[in-house]
Amino acid sequence: MRKILLLCLMLMGTGSYLSASTRAEVNILEATEHIRYLSQDITKNYLYYYANPKKEFIRKKVLTDLEKLVSDIRTIAITTNKQDTKDILEFLTYSKNQIEEILKARPDKEKAALMLDYSETLLEGANSIAKQHSYIYTDSEKMLLVSKNIGFYMERIEKYYLAIGIGLSSSINIRLMEDAILSFDKNIEDIMKYGAYTKRLNEDRKTLYKYWRTNRSLIKKYKELFVSNIVELTTNRLERVAENFIVYHSKNQ
């Protein structure tokens, strides 16, 4: 997306300031997209660790993701000139610091509930920053976002599935999970309707839908059974397949 933006500006004969300004907006938006994903992934992995405390590698993954979060926050901080954005970054940094403190102790239900709160703080902050640095997407760029949303919503769905499974089954968490399922349905429907994929991607599309149908069925049965390991495996598989669509739409801007 960044390359096509800069090319268009060069063809239009715009000044160097506008080119630099647009590049900055794109950098910020890409960082906020990544923060949105990490906000779900970090907490999902913590909850998965809580449900599977012997899997120490999960805790290490959360720490690695926190380093990525710091990098994204730094990217925005050194790029933006907006004071409102800088103010929001302070809240994001605070949430990151609190998550680091939580990870120093063994996981428990109280800390899991706090992680859900910090997750939503990070997401709300990223969304607010994105609104302050708006950009009009082309149709092909929208499909790139749709592809990225597959991972985001899958992490969000599993996050709430795990929260419910470990005993944080509030009406709000159930509603947020159901809302994320509906949003995922909409994004995968957009991919299924898209008419310009290669033969290979058409096969990937079928695989994506097959794994989602399996995952959706398991998650919908949250009242009857809790199968965190199976849902984690199918989620990872879904996201790996979705990466092929991200690569395709990144190259076809």
In this structure, the answer to whether residues 150 and 76 fall within a common structural domain is: no
Per the structure, the complete domain to which residue 71 belongs is given by: 30-135
Mean pLDDT of 136-146: 87
Q: What is the pTM of this model?
A: 0.89
Query: Per-residue pLDDT tens for 21-55?
Result: 677 888 899 999 999 999 999 999 999 999 998 88
In this structure, the answer to whether residues 130 and 154 fall within a common structural domain is: no
Q: Please state the domain count of the chain.
A: 2
End residue of a domain, out of 92, 120, 135: 135
Q: What DSSP string runs through the chain?
A: -HHHHHHHHHHHT--HHHHHHHHHHHHHHHHHHHHHHHHHHHHHHHHHHHHSTT-HHHHHHHHHHHHHHHHHHHHHHHH---HHHHHHHHHHHHHHHHHHHHTTS---HHHHHHHHHHHHHHHHHHHHHHHHT-----HHHHHHHHHHHHHHHHHHHHHHHHHHHTT---HHHHHHHHHHHHHHHHHHHHHHH-----HHHHHHHHHHHHHHHHHHHHHHTTTT---HHHHHHHHHHHHHHHHHHHHHHHH--
Query: Per-residue pLDDT tens for 162-214?
Result: 999 999 999 999 999 999 999 999 999 999 999 889 999 999 999 999 999 99
The CATH number for 160's domain is 1.20.120
In this structure, the answer to whether residues 246 and 142 fall within a common structural domain is: yes
End residue of a domain, out of 107, 135, 163: 135
